[in-house]
Structure 1
């Protein structure tokens, strides 16, 4: 699962669903960007694709980035303008050095 710095060549946005209040006291619910990172983005293939339990026609990605403690399955990732739901977030080898996100496209 190791990577080199030059493999982290795709900028991704990390978003969280938040609720804010406007000037009239109404609640506004929207996705808000809370961070950006450079990541290694790869499609799931072979055994990884089958192990992820993906259905035919889903676009699935594996996003590897430097460790962030604030990213969870409740968030989403924007890759090249497309939104992806985070299916699973894993701390590789529990070393808090890299974060692996398994994602599927949001239609």
Structure 2
């Protein structure tokens, strides 16, 4: 049975970004993020936890982001929007119909 996802809830505009390594001219590499697409999705918070280290406290927040299916979304890519960055940890097709993609993401808040 196909999972029902209301497409009207996919209204948050997000930028899909991929990491592009560039030479730094000294034999190393610099990682830059390049936007490869604009997508619309639904963001749902799942959990939050406090991380303490090096005399700093940060919040690690996990979200479930649902969007229309794309074949180029995987762990290592990220979504950005509303001044926030969501690192994609996993992505899957919830009902294997090729209609939607559900991403589990991690956001580090300060």
**Range of TM-score over shorter length:** 0.7 to 0.9
Structure 1 position 58, deviation (Å)? 1.9
- Residues in 2 aligned to 1:5 and 1:96: alpha-carbon distance in whole angstroms: 14
- Residues in 2 aligned to 1:92 and 1:16: alpha-carbon distance in whole angstroms: 23
- Residues in 2 aligned to 1:77 and 1:37: alpha-carbon distance in whole angstroms: 9
Corresponding position: 1:65 with 2:67 = yes
- Residues in 1 aligned to 2:23 and 2:38: alpha-carbon distance in whole angstroms: 24
Correspondence 1:1-107 to 2 at 5 A: 1-20=3-22, 28-44=30-46, 49=47, 55-56=49-50, 57-106=59-108
RMSD between superposed Cα atoms in Å: 2.3
CA contact (8 A) 2:61 2:108 kept: no
Structure 1 position 95, deviation (Å)? 1.4
Structure number with the higher strand fraction is 2
Structure possessing the higher radius of gyration over alpha carbons: 2
- Residues in 2 aligned to 1:35 and 1:63: alpha-carbon distance in whole angstroms: 16
Structure 1 position 84, deviation (Å)? 1.3
Aligned length: 98
Structure 1 position 65, deviation (Å)? 0.4
> When the two structures are superposed, what TM-score results if normalisation uses the length of structure 1?
0.76
Structure 1 position 28, deviation (Å)? 4.9
CA contact (8 A) 2:60 2:108 kept: no
